[in-house]
Chains A and B, each alone.
Chain A
């Protein structure tokens, strides 16, 4: 009763238990629900990325403030994912907690990651197509499109180690945002928990694989619009790396970094801190129960032997 009336945030130990249970529910969901929830998440993150592109265009703010405002509006993506409910690959890296805790197999984790990654890609690409046909990129004398082109250009020109390091830090922050939402009891709690980690990763220029599934394909489309290329102050020869190959190279490095940051630096670390003792306690309890059962059956056998 007191728990129902409590307005305190859930403590970290409870958050870890909730994460394990959420992980099990996510990984054992039926395939089509999982896929369509992932498509939704891809489009939600795409909407956040689109909002970011629009807001940072000609904002008239200084470098830091522009990044801050961009980060705040990008948070829309994860707010939609968490509150409306959707399956996001980067957030689902936390499922590793349930695997390490022995509640899921690695195969079940992988099934979730593969289906969700593909679903996120489909959702992001669909959002790119819709945004292209809205002609929103022509706003502000094609400067919105120019921003999209410059963002994609910067992303495909990152070296492998830079993209990897930015990917690690990005998903550490995204998973921390998801982790923090587990402490919340209301929608307001959850939104506030999301805002700062997401703003920090966007403002810091870190790399998010699912957001890049929107940003780079949008840049690829913008590359084919001469007015946008002109507004971006670029020439076609500069954009040679902005290709499908450049997109895949970026995704490989960033996805690898995202998995490491989310699964190893957040999920595994928090599991080690809060859940490893529980596993030991459970193991000890099961060993004790097994010993007790064995002792009981031995006693019964002996009793039967004496009777005979």
Chain B
């Protein structure tokens, strides 16, 4: 019983923070990626090149 409780304690102490912090890190990464404005120069260039043809 004590052995099972120790495993459960380890699970709570390591798995829960690992799961939550991984979610947070991925979320922050995605937030940063979403907040970087997409370059429009390239699309304008393509449009210009398309128009010149």
Main secondary structure of the interface of B (DSSP, over half): helix
Given contacts A161-B9, A164-B12, contact A107 B20 (CB under 8 A): no
Instruction: Tell me if B16 and A110 are in contact (CB < 8 A).
Output: no
Of A107, A257, A259, chain B has the most CB atoms within 10 Å of the CB of A107
Q: Please provide the chain A residues from 257 to 273 with a CB less than 8 Å away from any CB of chain B in the complex.
A: 257, 259-260, 263-264
Bound state CA distance, A111 and B33, in angstroms?
Answer: 12
Instruction: Tell me if A110 and B9 are in contact (CB < 8 A).
Output: no
Contact mask B17-30 → A, CB, 8 Å, 1/0?
Answer: 10111011011101
Bound state CA distance, A110 and B9, in angstroms?
Answer: 28
| Minimum CB–CB distance for B48 against chain A, Å | 31
List A contacts of B33 (CB < 8 A). Answer: 107
List A contacts of B9 (CB < 8 A). Answer: 161
Instruction: Tell me if A161 and B13 are in contact (CB < 8 A).
Output: yes
Q: Please provide the chain A residues from 88 to 110 with a CB less than 8 Å away from any CB of chain B in the complex.
A: 105-110
| Minimum CB–CB distance for A209 against chain B, Å | 12
| Minimum CB–CB distance for A169 against chain B, Å | 11
| Minimum CB–CB distance for A271 against chain B, Å | 15
Bound state CA distance, A105 and B16, in angstroms?
Answer: 22
Cβ of B31 within 8 Å of any chain A Cβ, yes or no, is: yes
Of B12, B26, B32, B35, chain A has the most CB atoms within 10 Å of the CB of B12
| Minimum CB–CB distance for A35 against chain B, Å | 16
Instruction: Tell me if A107 and B30 are in contact (CB < 8 A).
Output: yes
Instruction: Tell me if B12 and A165 are in contact (CB < 8 A).
Output: yes
List A contacts of B32 (CB < 8 A). Answer: 107
Interface size on B, residues (CB 8 A): 19
| Minimum CB–CB distance for A293 against chain B, Å | 27
Cβ of B34 within 8 Å of any chain A Cβ, yes or no, is: yes
Bound state CA distance, A209 and B13, in angstroms?
Answer: 17
Bound state CA distance, A160 and B32, in angstroms?
Answer: 30
Contact mask A256-291 → B, CB, 8 Å, 1/0?
Answer: 110110011000000000000000000000000000
Tell me the A residues contacting B by CB distance below 8 Å: 105-111, 113-114, 160-161, 164-165, 168, 256-257, 259-260, 263-264
Can you add 15 more A-B contacts, CB < 8 Å, to A168-B12, A256-B20? A107-B35, A108-B34, A110-B24, A110-B28, A110-B31, A111-B31, A164-B12, A165-B12, A168-B16, A256-B16, A257-B16, A260-B16, A260-B20, A263-B20, A264-B19
Ordered by A's residue number, 12 sampled pairs between the chains whose C-beta atoms are within 8 Å are: A106-B26, A107-B33, A107-B35, A111-B31, A114-B28, A161-B13, A164-B17, A168-B16, A256-B17, A256-B21, A260-B20, A263-B20
